[in-house]
């Protein structure tokens, strides 16, 4: 594990919507501090609508209206120097995309043109990013990359509809990693795939990471996928990271009451007792609760939780939690 290659500092990314002349602000990412390291797989987890995809867009410098960066910054470490993404021109961002940072958004399988063979999609991609205009050169590059990732090169001759959902997703990941980016940002790459197929996609991501020795930031609401792949996990609630820890520790000592619900709601082999899910419903990010946004659903909420957002408290090496129970020394009593 090395230095931070991707950093967010007090990052705020809000949607500004114009509804009948009135501006509605959705606080999708709120005061997020992250330091993602070289050569790690960092998982971001949390329930639907908590801001995971928005955080990825901000980290990938793929912010478009109505989304706006309202505060803080995102920095990349490129060739040993840290650069502030906000200082980059559109052209500089375009150049970094795919060669330095690859963003695989949700539903990215749709990048595969349904009426073109996979080889043509690969060729278009290669031609628009590299100085390779010989059809055969592009083909060799694509074929070698697929072989390197253990995928059958004959899929280059297929149309997307001839491939299974899992293979389409793998082809998409292979395409995004063709130029060997230092950072891959993936949004729910295993969602909508059945469990067996998911395993293949997770394995491919692992292989990519160990071959390229790069960094993967992965969003999925599936804690099982995080358990299988992530080195560290950040738990997101209502636009904020509320807990961060190495994966094993997150599963063995979940400390934020929200994380405890997330972990205890997972099925356990041989245990048929009903699993406890998070009570209540997620807050509206247009009008988030005061103080700690989890307080209305938290069985341990205290007065201070309603008034003030807690800062992060380190509870072990690499493990930090934003919860008043921990801050006030009641750590462990929430379990
Ligand atoms: N283009 C958009 N315009 C307006 N609001 C949006 C837009 N995209 C997302 N939002 C809102 O921002 C908040 C965070 O959404 P986001 O998609 O980042 O969450 P998520 O955790 O990725 O959810 P999911 O797992 O369902 O994809 C939600 O309240 C959502 O309704």
pLDDT digits (tens, 9 = 90+) for 231-256: 999 999 999 999 999 999 999 999 99
Other beta carbons within 10 angstroms of residue 163's beta carbon come to: 17
Atom index in ligand 1 nearest the CA of residue 56 equals: 18
**pTM of the full predicted structure?**
0.92
Other beta carbons within 10 angstroms of residue 300's beta carbon come to: 15
Nearest CA to ligand 1 atom 31: 49
How does residue 2 score in pLDDT terms, banded at 50, 70 and 90? low
Nearest CA to ligand 1 atom 4: 15
Q: Which of 84-88, 132-136, 285-289 has the lowest mean pLDDT?
A: 132-136
- CA 247-252-254 angle, 5° bins: 85
Sorted by where each begins, the domain ranges of the chain are: 4-115+159-321
Region for 332 from its dihedrals, namely left if φ exceeds 0, alpha if ψ lies in -120 to 50, beta otherwise: left
How does residue 309 score in pLDDT terms, banded at 50, 70 and 90? very high
- The DSSP code for 84 is E
Strand 22-37 relative to strand 101-104: parallel, antiparallel, unpaired? unpaired
- CA 49-107-4 angle, 5° bins: 70
- 91 versus 13: the higher-pLDDT residue is 13
Residues in contact with 120: Cβ distance below 8 Å, sequence separation at least 6, in sequence order: 113
Given a cut of 90, is residue 269 above it in pLDDT? no
- Of the CA atoms within 13 Å of residue 233, those in its CB half-sphere come to 28
In this predicted model, what pLDDT tens digit does every residue of 157-209 receive, in sequence order? 999 999 988 888 889 889 889 889 999 999 988 877 777 778 888 888 888 89
Closest CA to 42 of 203, 183, 207, 170: 183
In this predicted model, what pLDDT tens digit does every residue of 142-169 receive, in sequence order? 899 999 888 999 999 999 999 988 888 8
In whole angstroms, what is the distance from residue 68 CA to residue 11 CA?
11
Mutate to test the pocket of ligand 1, among 28, 185, 225 (most ligand atoms within 8 A of CB): 28
In whole angstroms, what is the distance from residue 90 CA to residue 280 CA?
43
In whole angstroms, what is the distance from residue 97 CA to residue 157 CA?
27
How does residue 128 score in pLDDT terms, banded at 50, 70 and 90? confident
Average pLDDT over residues 44-60: 95
Residues in the chain, overall count:
335
Closest CA to 183 of 63, 311, 4: 4
How does residue 335 score in pLDDT terms, banded at 50, 70 and 90? very low
Ligand 1, pocket residues at CB < 6 Å: 15, 17, 26, 28, 46, 48-54, 66, 221, 285
Given a cut of 70, is residue 108 above it in pLDDT? no
Atom index in ligand 1 nearest the CA of residue 17 equals: 4
Arithmetic mean of pLDDT over the chain: 89
Q: Which of 30-44, 113-127, 310-324 has the lowest mean pLDDT?
A: 113-127
DSSP string, 165-195: HHHHHHHHHHHHTTT--SEEEEESTTTTS-H
Residues in contact with 214: Cβ distance below 8 Å, sequence separation at least 6, in sequence order: 38, 39, 180, 181, 182, 183, 184, 208
CA of 159 to the centre of ligand 1 (A): 32
* Domain 4-115+159-321: which CATH number of 3.30.230.10, 2.40.50.140, 3.60.10.10, 3.40.50.300: 3.40.50.300
Mutate to test the pocket of ligand 1, among 19, 24, 30, 51 (most ligand atoms within 8 A of CB): 51
- CA 51-49-230 angle, 5° bins: 60
């Amino acid at each position: 594990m090395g230095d931070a290659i991707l950093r967010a500092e007090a990052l705020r990314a809000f949607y500004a919507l114009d509804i009948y002349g009135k501006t509605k602000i959705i606080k999708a990412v709120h005061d997020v501090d992250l330091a993602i390291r070289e050569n790690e797989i960092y998982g971001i987890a949390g329930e639907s609508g908590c801001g995971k995809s928005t955080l990825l867009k901000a980290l990938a410098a793929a912010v478009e209206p109505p989304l706006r960066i309202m505060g803080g910054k995102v920095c990349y470490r490129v060739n040993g120097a840290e650069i502030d993404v906000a200082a980059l021109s559109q052209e500089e961002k375009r150049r970094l995309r795919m060669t330095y940072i690859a963003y695989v958004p949700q539903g990215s399988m749709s990048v595969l043109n349904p009426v073109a063979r996979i080889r043509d999609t690969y060729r278009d991609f290669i031609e628009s990013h590299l100085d390779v205009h010989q059809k055969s050169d592009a083909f060799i590059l694509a074929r070698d990359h697929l072989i390197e990732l253990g995928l059958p090169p004959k899929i280059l001759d297929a149309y997307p509809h001839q491939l299974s959902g899992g293979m389409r997703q793998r082809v998409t990941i292979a395409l995004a990693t063709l130029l060997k980016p230092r950072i891959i940002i993936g949004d729910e790459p295993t969602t909508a795939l059945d469990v067996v197929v998911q395993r293949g996609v997770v394995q491919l991501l692992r292989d990519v990471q160990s071959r390229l020795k790069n960094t993967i930031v992965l969003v999925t609401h599936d804690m099982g996928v995080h358990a299988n792949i992530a080195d560290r996990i950040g738990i997101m609630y209502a636009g904020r990271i509320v807990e961060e820890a190495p994966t094993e520790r997150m599963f063995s000592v979940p400390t934020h009451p929200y994380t405890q619900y997330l972990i205890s709601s997972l099925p356990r082999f041989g245990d048929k007792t009903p699993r406890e899910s998070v009570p209540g419903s997620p807050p509206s990010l247009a009008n988030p609760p005061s103080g700690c946004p989890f307080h209305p659903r938290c069985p341990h909420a205290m007065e201070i939780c309603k008034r003030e957002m807690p800062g992060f408290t380190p509870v072990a090496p690499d493990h930090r939690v934003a919860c008043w129970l921990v801050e006030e020394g009641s750590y462990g009593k929430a379990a």
